[in-house]
Amino acid sequence: MKDIIIVTESAALQIKDMMKENEEENAYLRVSIKGGGCSGLSYGLGFAHEVEEGDTELVQHGITFLVDKESAPALVGTVIDYKQSLMGGGFTIENPNAIASCGCGSSFRTATNQGTPEEC
């Protein structure tokens, strides 16, 4: 089976720094999707302290990621990266399942999940 998410080394280093800064070294990183945004779905990234029923646990670069069973189908093959530029740095998410996205790149929809679009 294809990985649900693929995290680059650059993104993992940034996540580890964030975990240390926030004293969350023992936390999980939850990756999810939820309804909202211009195109209907948006990404969620955050620290979690418990594995919930139905979660998939993925360990990459020494970090344990959690993906809930509702989010997993829309995230299969998604690459999470961190890119630095003259304007600063930020996480990028490349989702092969997204068939439409908004101009800001943080909202999307898939062929099977339209989400709940909002006004931009």
**Successive 10-residue mean pLDDT values, the chain, 120 residues:** 88 96 95 78 91 96 96 93 85 84 60 59
Tell me what pLDDT residue 20 has: 96
Supply the pTM of this predicted model.
0.80
Tell me what pLDDT residue 41 has: 81
* Contact assessment for residue 24 and residue 47, using Cβ atoms and an 8 Å cutoff: yes
Tell me what pLDDT residue 53 has: 96
DSSP label at residue 73: H
How far is CA 33 from each of CA 26, 70, 87, rounded to the nearest angstrom? 23, 8, 27
**Within a domain: residue 117?**
no
**Within a domain: residue 120?**
no
**Within a domain: residue 118?**
no
Structural domain range at position 43: 5-110
Tell me what pLDDT residue 89 has: 83
**Within a domain: residue 59?**
yes
Query: Which among 38, 71, 70, 66 is positioned nearest to 50, based on CA atoms?
Result: 66
**Within a domain: residue 9?**
yes
Tokens of residue 111, six digits = 């062929």
**Within a domain: residue 116?**
no
Tell me what pLDDT residue 4 has: 93
pLDDT digits (tens, 9 = 90+) for 18-35: 999 999 999 999 999 987
CATH number at residue 60: 2.60.300.12
Tell me what pLDDT residue 104 has: 54
Question: In terms of residues, how long is the chain?
Answer: 120
**Within a domain: residue 101?**
yes
**Within a domain: residue 106?**
yes
| Complete edge-to-edge strand list for the sheet that includes strand 5-7 | 5-7, 78-85, 88-94
Tell me what pLDDT residue 114 has: 56
Domain count along the chain? 1
